[in-house]
Amino acid sequence: MSSTPLPAARRAFRRLAQHRAAAVCCVGLVALALGVGFSFACPRQPAVHDEFSYLLAADTFAHGRVANPTHPMWRHFETFHVIQEPSYVSMYPPSQGLFLAAGQVATGHAIVGVWLSFALAAAAVCWMLQAWMPPGWAMLGGLLAAAHAEILQWWATTYWGGAVAMLGGALVFGALRRIVRFVRVRDALWLGVGLAVLANSRPFTGLVLSLPVAVVLLAWMLGKHGPSLSVSLRQVVLPILGVLGLTVAAMVYYNLRTTGEPLVRPYVLAWKTYSVTPIFLWQDGLPEPTYRHDVIRQYHLDWAREVFESHRSPRGIARECVRRLTVLWHFYLGFALLIPLAVLLCVANNRWIQLALLSCGLVVLALLQPVWLCPHYAAPATALVFLLGVQGLRHLRLWRPEGLPLGRYLVPILLLCYFAAPAVMVVRYWTTGHDPWHHYRPWSNHRAEILADLRADGDRHLVIVRYGPEHWFGEEWVYNEADIDGAAVVWAREMGPEQDRELIDYFGDRRVWLLEADSTPPTRTPYPLRRPAGTSSRADAAASGA
């Protein structure tokens, strides 16, 4: 009967997919619901260095500032992935921080900005695919992006980023196909916006991904099937250059406010200030800077430099290349998308699909160059992964060995496995407590609990953090808000009695605590050093330029 639930659901899905704007909105709402649901089902506190840095950027923007002034006591506040001079800011590009700031301003919770960026990214994937394939398959691709298990647990529930760059890549490649087909100003503007997002989220891989796009656009405009020169300039080139011109101006202004140099990004300044390893494997090591804290020295000299040197030998290079390819395959493809991609590789005779494959290949090659690799480094190419995966599913569905329609049965099985993966992860978490963040969970929960307790009593606090000799640098307690003096809780490093006395004198109106970070559990006790009567207060220290 045609009225059975499955055919009826298929017809409803196809009708919805035909309404392109509705399909994009639907995918965005599904992604939003999944991001929110996954966050509550598998809750976690910020733990990774990068997350705290992005939260600082969000808090800075939420206060209506591009950068914060260097604090008089900044040496006590030095930490990972944050610059202290000439301004106090995150070292990362601003796109992720802007989304987090939007969530913070709108609701008081930065995680809402994460959910928003993920919803927009999934919706943008659907919008992009609508320019590449039939609407039903495009909507399926958007839902695949919304329900991708690894993306959900890494990009939709943490502050680490990834979804913003995914959004930028989808806008670029969705606009590219529309420009070639319709030659409209609005599509050129969307391409410019996508490039701007990439430049301010993942600039290196974003640049690599943009190169084939520029080549294709140039070849099309100069080719015999392209528009006239005047149309190309008016409808394509000038709108893109207009957006990019504004973007460059904003980036120069941001650099000036944060680093004092128009062409020096905070990321580069932070690297030169603290790191002994270069950004790329083929570069030479950097001179050793002055470190004021053992934990920062341990990170850069004992761990980062060892990793860098191990990657430089022929055996290390080979081992690292295999590891990186494995990481990217596991994160982006897994089992459900690997089979369709393998099928697609056998029949990839379409030039647009070849462009997508080439672009992904260039990104993979580029990611073999940096000293470090995390899956979100490849985020600009994520939309292309879903494009290739859905295109592979389309071909796989037509597979009929010996006349048997096996493809029509295999595709639903793969999709069932794919969409069940997030639920399996939630069940695993609730039954075993194991997820990718389980080793961060104890200390990050302790930090969040102590912070909540201190904020709840209505007083103002200074927490001086003491690490043991075996402290692991991954458990970093010293991260502060954008307005340090105005914060209810200030975290600082222990630097010895004399320097700690100066710090306590500065924050003379606060209760002072000593946190033994490496005790089990971490313990907070009143700090033994007291400020004698008549010593200088915070206001006195600020006035004297301390």
Full domain range(s) for residue 480: 441-543
The answer, yes or no, to whether residue 287 has pLDDT greater than 90, is yes
* Tokens (6 digits) for 457: 């009593």
Domain end marker among 424, 455, 477: 424
> Do residues 402 and 499 both lie within one domain?
no
Confidence of residue 313 (pLDDT cuts 50, 70, 90): confident
Predicted confidence at residue 347, as pLDDT, reads: 80
Pairwise pLDDT comparison (536 vs 306), residue with the higher score: 306
> Do residues 270 and 348 both lie within one domain?
yes
Condensed to tens digits (0 to 9), the pLDDT of residues 242-276 reads: 999 999 999 999 999 999 999 999 999 999 999 99
| Domain presence at residue 284 | no
* Tokens (6 digits) for 239: 């709108």
Give buried/exposed letters for 331-358 (b at 16+ CB in 10 A, else e). Answer: bbbeebbbbbbebbeeebeeebbebbbe
The answer, yes or no, to whether residue 502 has pLDDT greater than 90, is yes
| Domain presence at residue 214 | yes
Confidence of residue 131 (pLDDT cuts 50, 70, 90): very high
CA–CA separation, 97 vs 159, rounded Å?
9
> Do residues 167 and 216 both lie within one domain?
yes
Q: Helix, strand, coil: what percent of the chain each, to 5?
A: 65, 5, 30
| Domain presence at residue 125 | yes
> Do residues 355 and 222 both lie within one domain?
yes
Domain end marker among 390, 424, 458: 424
Say which range, 90-104, 181-195, 529-543, has the weakest mean pLDDT. 529-543
Domain end marker among 397, 424, 451: 424
The answer, yes or no, to whether residue 434 has pLDDT greater than 90, is no
Predicted confidence at residue 9, as pLDDT, reads: 86
Predicted confidence at residue 531, as pLDDT, reads: 46
Average pLDDT over residues 489-500: 96
Tell me what percent of the residues of the chain surpass a pLDDT of 90. Answer: 86
The answer, yes or no, to whether residue 102 has pLDDT greater than 80, is yes
Q: CB 130: neighbour CB atoms within 10 A?
A: 23
Average pLDDT over residues 189-200: 98
| Domain presence at residue 50 | no
> Do residues 360 and 416 both lie within one domain?
yes
Predicted confidence at residue 306, as pLDDT, reads: 92
Predicted confidence at residue 7, as pLDDT, reads: 82
Predicted confidence at residue 349, as pLDDT, reads: 86
> Do residues 252 and 215 both lie within one domain?
yes
Contacts of residue 282, Cβ cutoff 8 Å, sequence gap at least 6: 369
> Do residues 252 and 329 both lie within one domain?
yes
Confidence of residue 68 (pLDDT cuts 50, 70, 90): very high
Residue 315 dihedral angles phi and psi, to the nearest 5°: -65, -40
| Domain presence at residue 430 | no
Predicted confidence at residue 536, as pLDDT, reads: 44
> Do residues 448 and 407 both lie within one domain?
no
> Do residues 327 and 459 both lie within one domain?
no
Residue 536 dihedral angles phi and psi, to the nearest 5°: -65, 145
Confidence of residue 433 (pLDDT cuts 50, 70, 90): confident
| Domain presence at residue 156 | yes
Nearest to 85 by CA among 269, 263, 289, 294: 269
| Domain presence at residue 301 | no
> Do residues 411 and 523 both lie within one domain?
no
Condensed to tens digits (0 to 9), the pLDDT of residues 337-389 reads: 989 999 888 888 899 999 999 999 999 999 999 999 999 999 999 999 999 99
Average pLDDT over residues 458-462: 96
Average pLDDT over residues 294-313: 93
Q: CB 182: neighbour CB atoms within 10 A?
A: 11
| Domain presence at residue 434 | no
CA–CA separation, 144 vs 142, rounded Å?
5
> How many domains does the chain divide into?
2
Q: For 507, how many CA atoms within 13 A lie in the half-sphere containing its CB? A: 30
Confidence of residue 460 (pLDDT cuts 50, 70, 90): very high
> Do residues 531 and 504 both lie within one domain?
yes
Confidence of residue 529 (pLDDT cuts 50, 70, 90): low
Residue 476 dihedral angles phi and psi, to the nearest 5°: -100, 120
> Do residues 99 and 158 both lie within one domain?
yes
Q: Which uninterrupted H or E stretch holds 75?
A: none
The answer, yes or no, to whether residue 544 has pLDDT greater than 80, is no
